[in-house]
Amino acid sequence: MIHVSMLLKAAEEVSDEITEHASGIERGLIWSLVHSVEMARGVVEALLDGNRRGPAI
């Protein structure tokens, strides 16, 4: 899961960089990609935090 989080962070950073050079519809599509990656990373981070705390009782 940590590796997945790192991959998603890299994808987010690359997408942010590409967005700066895009225009029109491409910018909107890339922004949508960035948003999806951020959401996926949030889920992974929440799962990792849950594992660090231990099982729910």
User: How does pLDDT run across 2-35, given as a tens digit for each residue?
Assistant: 899 999 999 989 988 888 888 889 989 998 999 9
- CA distances (Å), origin 36, targets 19, 30, 41, 50, 57: 14, 10, 9, 21, 31
Q: What is the pLDDT of residues 29-55, one digit of tens each?
A: 998 999 999 999 999 999 999 877 766
Q: Using alpha carbons only, what angle is made at residue 30 by residues 28 and 34, rounded to the nearest 5 degrees?
A: 115
The boundaries of the domain holding residue 8 are 2-51
Residue 13 maps to a domain: yes
The model's pTM = 0.72
Domain count, the chain: 1
Residue 57 maps to a domain: no
